[in-house]
């Protein structure tokens, strides 16, 4: 079963300007199915429509047209049933008020009617300790960790995390990745949007890339690498770079550039050309070391969206 299903979803907003108003299409005819048990990463440049799509999944915003089902329910007629089984980390949460972090977690437990242990939840996000003072004194990263603890209440079947790494230091980002994996191992579906491509690459089964309101691609990162290509790099260290080797490598289909530096040959090429490059070098020299890097998700993102990450 699909945990999240969007069919032909379009969302238009009326944007009121100082002089005149116009209509913005935030999502255009989006079809998407996130399977039960997946970790799905939702990527896209600023203004691509990611938050709008998430708000529609949570029934905070209604689509102009199209249908949305979450955990088997229609979001517009059954949002209460969905929210009971979903943990949400909203984008840009502003921690205000005099309640402590622990009190916020207790309220979330009460609202969901579960018997979670607040200390255990706070400990999972490394917030046991700073949990006892008012959240208005929290830093951005602390507020983000607290929101994550609240999202985990009740072992939700679905976690929807909007830009979960916002404000987190590297330790916080690692905690976030660990929790995403633990929740997924428990059986939860995790859907999260992010600009931080390494985060997505580290934990996601599949990614969807949204650009200008259109879902331009949905695939596993490995398959995206294969289909989109991008630049791989091969560095070969030889006892001595033989005459003619750079030219022979440059002639291989898919090779973009060849540079030599002392006993090193550095090659930029398409993924498919890596093996022939290594073989050509082995044929003509004694190779002492080979290292390769795949095109990064950042390269893929730039290729798909026609810009930078």
Ligand X SMILES: Nc1ncnc2c1ncn2[C@@H]1O[C@H](COP(=O)(O)OP(=O)(O)OP(=O)(O)O)[C@@H](O)[C@H]1O
The smaller minimum CB distance to ligand X, of residues 100 and 166, is found at: 166
| H-state helical runs in the chain | 50-57, 79-84, 101-112, 118-124, 140-151, 170-186, 197-203, 221-228, 245-250, 274-284, 297-305
**Contact between 194 and ligand X per CB under 6 A:** no
Exposure class string for 194-209: b at 16+ Cβ within 10 A, else e = bbbbebbbbbbebbbb
Smallest gap from Cβ 272 to ligand X, in A, equals: 33
Beta bridge partners of 211: 214
CB under 6 A: which stretch of 42-50, 129-137, 221-229, 253-261 binds ligand X?
A: 42-50
Residue 49 sits in the site that holds ligand X (CB under 6 A): yes
Stretch that binds ligand X, among 47-55, 134-142, 223-231, 251-259 (CB under 6 A): 47-55
Among 40, 50, 192, 265, binds ligand X (CB under 6 A): 50
CB of 217 to ligand X, least distance (A): 15
Based on CB atoms, which residue is closest to ligand X, 52 or 86?
52
CA distances from 53 to 36, 72, 121, 161, 182 (A): 18, 17, 28, 12, 25
Please report which residue ranges of 24-128 form alpha helices under DSSP H. 50-57, 79-84, 101-112, 118-124
Burial of 107 (0-12, 13-18, 19+ CB in 10 A): middle
Of the candidates 29, 33, 35, 47, which one interacts with ligand X according to CB under 6 A?
47
209 binds ligand X (CB under 6 A): no
Report the DSSP beta bridge partners of residue 269. Answer: 232, 255
Q: Is 196 in the site for ligand X (CB under 6 A)?
A: no
C-alpha separations of 46 from 43, 148, 211, 242, 258 in Å: 10, 23, 9, 49, 36
Instruction: For residue 46, state whether it binds ligand X (rule: CB under 6 A).
Output: yes
One character per residue 52-91, x = contact with ligand X (rule: CB under 6 A)? x---------------------------------------
Interaction of residue 1 with ligand X, rule CB under 6 A: no
Among positions 9, 26, 148, 221, the unique one binding ligand X when judged by CB under 6 A: 26
Which residues lie near ligand X (CB under 6 A)? 13, 15, 24, 26, 44, 46-52
């Amino acid at each position: 079963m699909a945990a999240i299903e969007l069919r032909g979803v379009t969302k238009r907003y009326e944007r009121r300007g100082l002089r005149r108003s116009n209509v913005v299409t935030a999502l255009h005819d989006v079809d998407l199915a996130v399977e039960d048990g997946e970790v799905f990463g939702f990527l896209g440049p600023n203004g691509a429509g990611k938050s709008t799509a998430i708000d529609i999944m949570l029934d905070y915003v209604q689509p102009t047209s199209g249908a949305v089902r979450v955990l088997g329910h229609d979001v517009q007629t059954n949002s209460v049933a969905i929210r009971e089984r979903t943990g949400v980390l909203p984008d840009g949460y502003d921690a205000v008020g005099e309640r402590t972090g622990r009190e916020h977690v207790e309220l979330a437990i009460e609202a969901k009617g579960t018997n979670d242990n607040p200390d255990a939840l706070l400990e999972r996000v490394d917030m046991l300790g700073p949990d006892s003072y008012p959240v208005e004194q929290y830093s951005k990263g602390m507020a983000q960790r607290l929101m994550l603890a609240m999202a985990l209440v009740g072992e939700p079947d679905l976690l929807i995390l909007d830009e979960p790494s916002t404000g987190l230091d590297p330790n916080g980002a690692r905690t976030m990745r660990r929790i995403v994996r633990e929740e997924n191992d428990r059986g939860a579906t995790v859907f999260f949007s992010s600009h931080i491509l390494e985060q997505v690459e580290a934990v996601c089964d599949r990614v969807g890339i949204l650009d200008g309101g259109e879902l331009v691609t949905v695939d596993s990162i490995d398959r995206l690498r294969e289909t989109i290509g991008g630049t791989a790099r091969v560095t070969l260290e030889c006892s001595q770079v033989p005459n003619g080797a750079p030219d022979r490598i440059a002639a291989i289909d898919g090779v973009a550039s060849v540079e030599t530096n002392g006993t090193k040959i550095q090659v930029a090429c398409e993924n498919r050309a890596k093996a022939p490059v290594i073989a050509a070098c082995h044929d003509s020299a004694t190779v002492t070391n080979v290292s390769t890097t795949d095109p990064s998700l950042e390269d893929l993102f730039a290729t798909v969206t026609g810009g930078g990450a």
